[in-house]
Structure 1
Amino acid sequence: MSKKAHLESYLSSDELKTRYLSAKDLVESRRWHLLWLVSLDWSIKKAAQVMGYNYDYAKEIVKKYNSGGELGIVNRQKKGKRRAYNALLTDSQLLDLKEALKTPPEDEGLWTGPKVARWIEKKTGIEKVWNQRGWDYLKKCRYSMQIPRRKHRKGDKDEQAAFKANLPLKVQELQRENPNATIEVWSFDEHRLGLKPIIRRIWSPIGKKPIALIEHRYEWLYLYGFVHPKTGRTEWFIIPRVNTQWFNQVLQALAQATGAGKDKIILIVLDQARWHTSKQLEIPEGIVLQTLPPYSPELQPAERLWCLADEPLVNRTFDDLDELEEILAKRCCILSTMTSEISALTNYHWWPDPEQLGEDNPVCA
């Protein structure tokens, strides 16, 4: 198994990705792309294969970055003396490649630079096409390496689009009905945690394999998370189960914590779990519930809280739920102070804000 490469912490993984996407020099863009993949725990060998690089050259790029930072990635070859690549594909052949990329390759796997190079060889009859040229043509076709966004297969695109369009209108309606009140749009979800271990990748010294002691037991508690994406403010509740009775208590506590009432309306976006829509709900004054379309977790900002909440629990085992709850409670206190990080994670571009609603509706969302 390939060892994980070491990268100096000059730039975060997101910053490396930004450098890769924004670099105007093709050589530098490819180097940043390689470093970004390595920052995602890819081995140098695997990243080099995807990029169409020679393994030794890929190692040299990582070495120069570790020793010189951003200066080590600069393309020092004089622009005027660079050898121009001859086009391997005609315009019609390039269109054929774009069509081919829409379906799996011949081996029914995933497209990579080397596989595109092999496709070009068959298409053109050229005896040898370097793997790097396959990567070049992926870029030329406007492709980039991305992790797919999860989406439930039963989700309805039209309903989801309508929800995003109507949410600002719901805020405006509440403002008209309560002209002297402040409106805030929050998101809410529940997260099950327990004595079944959570395994996640972590940084570890080179040559030392991390060990996670595990013991599968099926005892659970639930973390109720409320987030105000615009400001990153959060409210957390650790509850033994999910049902209407507990949800009523949580809503009462939330109303007190946020000051919901006549002068402050809290609009909460949540899924359609049966205890969220029960006729036995006791909704406090100042709290308004807005359900999401079915099978639409990608529209739920609170879903993104769990990767942060889980961090102190991963790769660990606990004697009982009391021990887990103690650690989780401390984590929630810390998360309550991480407003900028949480806002950056949860404030979707379509989430209602004053600019979207116009100056005629002075809504705090």
Structure 2
Amino acid sequence: MAGVTKVEIKESVEELHELLLKQKTASSFERIQALYLLKIGQVKTIQDVAVVVGRARVTVQRWLKNYQESGIKGLLTTLKSPGRPAIISLQVREQLDKELQESEGFKSYEEIRTWLKAVEGIEASYKVVHDTVRYQMKAKLKVPRAVGIKYDSEAESEFKKTATIPRSNKKHVIAPVDRQKTMRYWCGDESRVGLKTEAGRLITKKGVKPIGIMQWKRDNFYLYGLVEPLTGEYFIWEFSHLNTACFNIFLA
């Protein structure tokens, strides 16, 4: 009969039936089913097999060719498509990884998109950038440690190495009070009033602590104040600096 397949199936009907029951995917089941149908003689041609399993004739031909060359193992082997090349290549990821290891990090995934376009010439969607950075590169938004705009990381490191910690605190001596005079007890404090830059979370690599650079306004002022707990009476004076000169004027 024209079109009758001449594939020699080595497995028995029982073995094929057992294999059918073990398959966990539809694709694997269909391939074993093709052999089973040919073995029991229910179908004679490749076209008939294709009709029963619901596949194209060329697909069934490829299955049987794989079986002839490599047996059951070859029949069940599925070649995965390589798919499209990654938008963010490995080389670009390595460069991005270096940026994410800096404590300044990125303010948002949108900023990373801008960086990719400006530095690497890559236009990637927000989803691609988010999935790549958050789940593949394990970097996420974190609350930064606030430091001044003049912050110098090298100077801080050097200070920690050379600074000495005093072993004892200085003692404050209070002069004796004339018992003939009335004494009032006042509590004093100073406060700085001003504004600083509001900064949100930053994106850095896992294990890298972010640092948020803050810009303080230059027109800060200080409030020196005294309050008497007994009466609630208070006194407040505004000064430009927190230093000995201003403090002496306040006490005068």
Q: TM-score normalized by structure 1?
A: 0.20
Higher helix share: 1
Q: TM-score normalized by structure 2?
A: 0.29
Larger radius of gyration: 2
